[in-house]
Amino acid sequence: MTKPLTPCPSYIGGEWLLTTTAGTPVFNPSTGEIIAECPAGSVAEVNAAVEAAAAAFPAWMETPPVERARVLFKFKMLLEENFEDIVRCNTREHGKTLVESRGDVKRGMEVVEFACGAPSMLMGEILENVARGIDCEAIRQPLGVCVGITPFNFPAMVPLWMYPIAIACGNTFVLKPSEKVPLTALKIARLLEQAGLPKGVLNIVHGGREVVDALLTHPKVKAISFVGSTPIARYIYETGTKHGKRVQSNGGAKNYVILMPDADVENSTRGLIEAAFGCAGERCMAGSTAVIVGAAEKTVLPTLIEATRRLKVGPTDREAQPDMGPVITRQHRDRVEQLIEAGLKEGAQIPADGRGAKSTEAPNGFYIGATILDHVQTGMTVAKEEIFGPVLNVMRMEDLDTAIELANKSAYGNGASIFTRSGKAAREFKHRVKAGMVGINIGVPASMAWFPFNGWDESFFGDLHMQGKEGIQFFTQLKVTTSRWFSYGEGDIWHR
Ligand code: NAD
């Protein structure tokens, strides 16, 4: 008997609306089953959601920041109470392990905690006597209706990078989650409704390009936050800015991890395994290329290959957990395997081969095992394209200088890490590497809520990043008032 599909409504003006329009199937990647149907959405829905957000804006803007923060405090408590339920929903539609899902939800909750502090961060600046008797002050005001468009790989965290900060600053919001993983975003939004968020402050629509274009061009939308692949990130930035919107647009990545000959073998192997194969490699901060420097090929590399071969892939939607879950769809699994084959044709070797991985418990899941491609060269397809799967490229360099040079040739600039015992090598690397988030003996140096999520180059289009103080700046505009008073007012008779 087929199980009933999980409803996937849109959320507009405080109403949960189910539509019957055909959309995209949402899978449980562990089993290959369809668990929901994400509606295709429509321009009419976008218009309704933006109108609802625009209508809610004046009252929400006038709500004192501390009262807005109280709704977020309540939201945070509800996220804690419902933590495991959200985690399981996340794993079911995404496929990452329960431990990884807990990380996904926790990182998002930290942004909510950060946003609870918005009243202090919204405080402005004042300078008395910019000229005699004249004062000048700068205050932060919200923008209006803001939009978020999110990818499949962090169903909880990425939407939470955006709207908690936006609404804490007094904006209203329309979220379009990934059509591959809409259910976690909906579950979390229900908690915000329960926390007392007024109707229309957060709205959710579904769909693909047509819906995104309607959001990017809508005259009442003031700002766009996007996270996804680089070609779409660039498109969002160009289209949004052309239509006069403020845009922050995070793209894809290819992150280099440098292993120096003096690296601690056990810790660097653990760090690299986690960076390359955590979340089945579907992370914009995945350490997807290991650069083995000099004698590290005799120390770290053999241990890394052994540890990779031991990793078990399997279903994540049950109590017994594998080391690694499936990838998001069958098509994505096939694409990753095709890229591995392209790498082999172009001359790479494969000391750990995850192609054709199967689970006897869940034969229709979208599995691919942890894979290492060794002797990768810069011109190869696998060296240029973001694979976004459990595949680690290994490249070899003679010394730190050539390793940094190699990393700096990448078109992307999200993350870069070094494993070493040398403070001097770490300092050189930190100073010279061309990436916005740097790890020293840390495989995944993803910034946390208090710092900007800081991609450079093709990994980011815009000026102000998500999270941290830049997040507050992105979602507010300064108003500078210069004032002078000539005389005491009529009411001030005691001064006459
Ligand atoms: P994607 O670019 O395919 O989709 C992202 C969003 O854009 C989705 O909501 C999707 O519906 C929408 N979209 C897709 N095609 C579109 C089009 N032609 N026009 C308008 N909208 C469109 O990305 P994905 O596969 O969901 O996520 C994986 C990508 O996201 C990877 O490249 C990864 O590196 C990147 N990512 C980046 C960061 C970061 O912070 N830099 C974080 C997470 C993921």
Model confidence pLDDT, tens digit, residues 383-396: 999 999 999 999 99
Q: In Å, how far from its chain's centre is CA 64? A: 29
The rounded distance, in Å, linking the Cα atoms of 108 and 106 is 5
- Which of 209, 232, 285, 328 should be mutated for ligand 1, with most atoms under 8 A from CB? 232
Tokens standing for residue 149: 């468009």
228 lines ligand 1 (CB under 6 A): yes
Whether ligand 1 lies within 6 angstroms of the CB of 261 is answered as no
Instruction: Please report the atom of ligand 1 found closest to the CA of residue 229.
Output: 32
- Are 392 and 272 in contact, with CB atoms under 8 Å apart? yes
pLDDT for residue 488: 82
pLDDT classification of 374: cutoffs 50, 70, 90: very high
Cβ-count burial of 230 within 10 angstroms (0-12 exposed, 13-18 middle, 19+ buried)?
A: buried
| pLDDT over 60 (residue 496) | no
| Domains, the chain | 10-251+459-481 (3.40.605.10), 256-440 (3.40.309.10)
> Residue 1 pLDDT more than 60?
no
Q: Tell me how far apart the alpha carbons of residues 53 and 71 are, in angstroms, rounded to a whole number.
A: 17
Cα-based angle 345, 346, 348 (whole degrees, multiple of 5): 90
Residue nearest to ligand 1 atom 18, measured at CA: 209
Contacting residues for 126 by C-beta, under 8 A, at least 6 apart: 135, 136, 137, 138
Q: Check if the beta carbon of residue 16 is closer than 8 Å to that of residue 80.
A: no
pLDDT of residue 22: 78
Ligand 1 pocket residue status of 459, Cβ below 6 Å: yes
Token reading at 162: 């955006």
Q: Which atom of ligand 1 is nearest to the CA of 178?
A: 9
Residue 84 has pLDDT above 90, yes or no: yes
State residue 406's pLDDT score.
97
**What percent of the residues of the chain are helix, what percent strand, and what percent coil, each to the nearest 5?**
40, 25, 35
The pLDDT, as a whole number, for residue 3 is 79
Pocket of ligand 1 contains residue 38 by CB under 6 Å: no
Indicate the pLDDT class of residue 495, thresholds 50, 70 and 90: low
Tell me the CA–centroid distance for residue 415 and ligand 1, in Å: 18
Give yes or no for residue 284 CB within 6 A of ligand 1: yes
Q: What is the pLDDT of residues 282-338, one digit of tens each?
A: 999 999 999 999 999 999 999 999 999 999 999 999 999 999 999 999 999 999 999
Asked if residue 378 lies in contact with residue 409, where contact means CB atoms within 8 angstroms, the answer is: yes
Question: Is the predicted pLDDT of residue 115 greater than 70, yes or no?
Answer: yes
Q: Which of 8, 38, 146, 284 is catalytic?
A: 284
Question: Average pLDDT over the chain, rounded to whole?
Answer: 96
- In this prediction, residues 52-76 reach a mean pLDDT of 98
pLDDT at residue number 491? 65
Substitution candidate for ligand 1 out of 93, 157, 161, 178 with most atoms within 8 A of CB: 178
Query: Using CA of residue 412, residue 413, residue 414, residue 416, what is the dihedral sign?
Result: positive
CA of 103 to the centre of ligand 1 (A): 20
- Measured in Å, residue 162 CA sits from the centre of ligand 1 at 15
Beta carbons within 10 angstroms of residue 451's beta carbon: 16
| CA neighbor of 236 nearest in space, from 150, 144, 143 | 150
Ligand 1 contact, 328 CB (< 6 A): no
CA distance 183 to 36: 8
Nearest ligand 1 atom to the CA of 284 is 34
Q: What is the distance in A from the centroid of ligand 1 to the CA of 365?
A: 22
Closest by CA position to 143, among listed 125, 170, 165, 123: 170
Catalytic residue status for 279: no
Quick one: which atom of ligand 1 is closest to the CA of 453?
A: 40
In whole angstroms, give the CA distance from residue 50 to residue 56: 10
Cα 157–Cα 162–Cα 167 angle in degrees, nearest 5: 125
